[in-house]
C-alpha cells in the first residue's frame, strides 16, 4: 500500500487548481434549495463545464467515455474541488457516482454507449429506486415485481426515498423477476425511463425542508428487456457493485467538506468566546482526528481498489460509511454547541446541514446493515439469520 502522491499526481493537482481558479469566479449564484428545476439546470451546467475541460468521469475507463485517470487522481479532484468551493455533484449524484460506474462495469457495449455519455455531459439525471416501504435497506425483501411480456418487463410496485426522482430522466431500479426464488436471488437491475406511462412521483419533504427524496409508484410500467443490466435474476450481484461504489467513494468529497466546516467552527468558537470551554476544544480536536482518520481510510480503500483485479471498492466502504455517518452527526451537534442560540436560526446554513445529517445513518444502507456487512465479510462472523 502506497499513500504518497507521485510527481505526475502533484502536476495534475496544480493543473486542476489553476483551472478552478479561472472558472469558479464566472459561475452564477446557486439556486435556492427548494428550486429543484433550477438546481438541476445549475448542476447540469457545471457538469458540462467539467466535461468540456476533460474532468468528467475522471476515473472511469476510457472505453466508457472516462479519462482513465488513477483513483488517486480522482481523490485529488474531489479534495481540490471541495477546498476551492466548487459546486457539489448535486442532482448528478446517482448517475455519476453509482449508476454510471455500475453500467461501466456491468453494462454491455450498446448500453455503455447509450447511457454513459449523457451522464458525463450532464444531459441525463438519474435517480435511485432501491428502497421500498416494507423493506427499507433490506433490499432482499423488495417486492416490486417485473413480469416478462414479450420484449418488455411489466413493472408494478412502489419505492421510497427515491433520490432526485423529481427531476430525473432515468431510474436505476431493482425489481423481483422470480418471486419463487430465495430472497437474494430472482432480482434484476433495470434502467427505467422516468417518463414511461405508469410512473408517478410524489416528492417527500424532509425535516430540512428539501424534496430531494420522493415516493415512486409504478403501475404496470413497461421497461424494455434491453434495459436490464446484467443477467435476469442476477440483480443482487449487480446491486452489490452499485452499493460498493455508493459506500466506497460517493461520500469521499463530503469528508473534505466536513474538515472545512470543522475549521470554520473553530474560528467561530474563537470569535464568540466558546473556545474558552476546554470540553468543547477537546470535542473539536477529537473530531479533527476522526476526519483525518476517515480521509486516510479513504486513501487505503482507494489503494486497495487499484490493486490487480480491483476497480470496485470492497467491503471497506462499509467501515467508512458506518463511521462517517456518525462523525457527520457529531460534527453538527458540535456546531450547535458553538452557535448556542444561533443554532435555532433556520436561516443558518449549519442548521440545515445539521438537520440533513440525521439522514446519513439511513442513507446508502442503515448503520445496522453496515455493521452486518463488516461483521460477516470482514470479521468473518457467522450470519445472524
pLDDT digits (tens, 9 = 90+) for 99-128: 998 998 899 999 999 999 999 999 999 999
List the grid coordinates of 117: 455519455
- What pLDDT shows up at residue 310? 47
CATH no. for 248-379? 1.20.140.10
pLDDT of 40 strictly over 70: yes
Q: With H, G, I as helix, E, B as strand and everything else as coil, classify residue 192.
A: strand
pLDDT of 352 strictly over 90: no
- What pLDDT shows up at residue 72? 80
Least confident span in 52-56, 282-286, 310-314: 310-314
pLDDT of 380 strictly over 50: yes
CA dihedral angle for residue 155, residue 160, residue 164, residue 166, rounded to 10 degrees: 70
- Kindly indicate the confidence band of residue 303, based on its pLDDT and cuts at 50, 70 and 90: low
CA distances from 351 to 35, 86, 199, 272, 339 (A): 19, 21, 34, 17, 9
Query: What is the rounded CA–CA span in Å between residue 361 and residue 382?
Result: 24
Q: What is the distance, to the nearest Å, from the Cα of residue 357 to the centroid of all Cα atoms in its chain? A: 14
Of 200, 195, 199, 190, which Cα lies nearest the Cα of 223?
190
Query: What is the rounded CA–CA span in Å between residue 145 and residue 140?
Result: 13
pLDDT of 317 strictly over 90: no
> Would the CATH topology of 126-232 be identical to that of 248-379?
no
Query: What is the rounded CA–CA span in Å between residue 305 and residue 200?
Result: 38
206-250: pLDDT as tens digits: 777 777 789 999 999 999 999 999 999 999 999 888 877 666 566
pTM here is 0.81
Least confident span in 57-66, 166-175, 354-363: 354-363
- What pLDDT shows up at residue 176? 96
What does pLDDT average to over the chain?
A: 86
Least confident span in 137-151, 212-226, 334-348: 334-348
Instruction: For the chain, give the percent of residues with pLDDT over 90.
Output: 43
**Identified catalytic residue from 246, 290, 337, 349:** 246
Instruction: Check if the beta carbon of residue 340 is closer than 8 Å to that of residue 281.
Output: no
Least confident span in 54-58, 323-327, 350-354: 350-354
Query: What is the rounded CA–CA span in Å between residue 376 and residue 161?
Result: 26
- Kindly indicate the confidence band of residue 153, based on its pLDDT and cuts at 50, 70 and 90: very high
pLDDT of 366 strictly over 80: no
- What pLDDT shows up at residue 341? 76
The ranges assigned to domains in the chain are 7-88, 126-232, 248-379
- What pLDDT shows up at residue 243? 74
What CATH topology corresponds to 126-232? Butyryl-CoA Dehydrogenase, subunit A; domain 2 (2.40.110)
Query: What is the rounded CA–CA span in Å between residue 120 and residue 100?
Result: 9
Q: With H, G, I as helix, E, B as strand and everything else as coil, classify residue 157.
A: strand
- What pLDDT shows up at residue 246? 63
Least confident span in 131-145, 146-160, 273-287, 355-369: 355-369
List the grid coordinates of 306: 487499484
Query: What is the rounded CA–CA span in Å between residue 57 and residue 49?
Result: 12
Half-sphere exposure of 108 (CA within 13 A, CB side): 10
Residue 61 or residue 151, greater confidence:
151
Residue 110 annotated to the active site? no
Q: Find where cell 439522514 sits.
A: 359
In this prediction, residues 281-302 reach a mean pLDDT of: 86
List the grid coordinates of 384: 445472524
β-strand partners of 152: 149, 224
Amino acid at each position: 500500500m502506497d499513500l504518497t502522491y507521485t510527481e505526475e499526481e502533484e502536476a495534475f493537482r496544480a493543473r486542476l487548481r489553476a483551472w478552478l481558479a479561472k472558472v469558479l469566479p464566472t459561475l452564477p449564484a446557486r439556486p435556492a434549495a427548494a428550486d429543484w428545476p433550477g438546481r438541476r439546470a445549475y448542476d447540469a451546467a457545471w457538469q458540462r463545464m467539467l466535461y468540456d475541460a476533460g474532468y468528467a468521469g475522471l476515473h472511469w475507463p476510457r472505453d466508457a467515455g472516462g479519462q482513465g485517470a488513477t483513483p488517486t487522481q480522482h481523490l485529488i479532484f474531489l479534495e481540490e474541488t471541495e477546498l476551492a468551493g466548487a459546486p457539489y455533484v448535486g442532482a448528478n449524484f446517482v448517475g455519476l457516482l453509482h449508476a454510471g460506474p455500475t453500467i461501466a462495469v456491468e453494462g454491455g457495449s450498446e448500453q455503455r454507449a447509450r447511457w454513459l455519455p449523457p451522464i458525463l455531459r450532464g444531459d441525463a439525471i438519474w435517480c435511485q429506486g432501491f428502497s421500498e416501504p416494507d423493506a427499507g435497506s433490506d433490499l432482499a425483501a423488495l417486492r416490486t415485481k417485473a413480469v416478462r411480456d414479450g420484449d418488455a418487463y411489466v413493472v408494478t410496485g412502489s419505492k421510497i426515498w427515491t433520490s432526485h426522482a423529481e427531476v430525473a430522466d432515468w431510474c436505476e431500479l431493482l425489481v423481483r423477476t422470480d418471486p419463487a426464488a430465495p430472497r437474494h436471488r430472482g432480482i434484476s437491475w433495470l434502467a427505467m425511463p422516468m417518463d414511461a406511462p405508469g410512473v408517478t412521483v410524489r416528492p417527500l419533504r424532509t425535516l430540512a425542508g428539501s424534496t430531494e427524496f420522493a415516493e415512486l409508484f409504478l403501475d404496470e410500467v413497461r421497461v424494455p428487456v434491453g434495459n436490464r443490466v446484467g443477467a435476469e435474476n442476477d440483480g443482487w450481484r449487480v446491486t452489490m457493485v452499485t452499493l460498493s461504489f455508493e459506500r466506497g467513494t460517493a461520500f469521499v468529497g463530503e469528508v473534505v467538506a466536513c474538515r472545512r466546516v470543522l475549521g470554520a467552527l473553530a474560528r467561530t468558537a474563537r470569535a464568540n468566546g466558546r473556545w474558552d470551554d476546554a470540553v468543547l476544544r477537546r470535542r473539536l480536536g477529537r473530531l479533527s482526528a476522526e476526519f483525518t482518520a476517515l480521509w486516510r481510510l479513504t486513501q487505503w480503500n482507494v489503494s486497495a481498489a487499484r490493486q490487480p483485479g480491483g476497480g470496485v471498492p470492497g467491503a471497506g466502504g462499509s467501515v467508512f460509511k458506518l463511521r462517517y455517518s456518525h462523525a457527520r452527526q457529531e460534527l453538527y451537534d458540535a456546531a450547535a454547541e458553538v452557535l448556542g442560540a444561533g443554532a435555532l436560526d433556520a436561516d443558518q446554513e449549519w442548521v440545515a446541514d445539521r438537520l440533513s445529517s440525521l439522514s446519513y445513518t439511513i442513507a446508502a444502507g442503515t448503520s445496522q446493515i453496515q455493521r452486518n456487512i463488516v461483521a460477516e465479510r470482514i470479521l468473518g462472523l457467522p450470519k445472524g439469520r
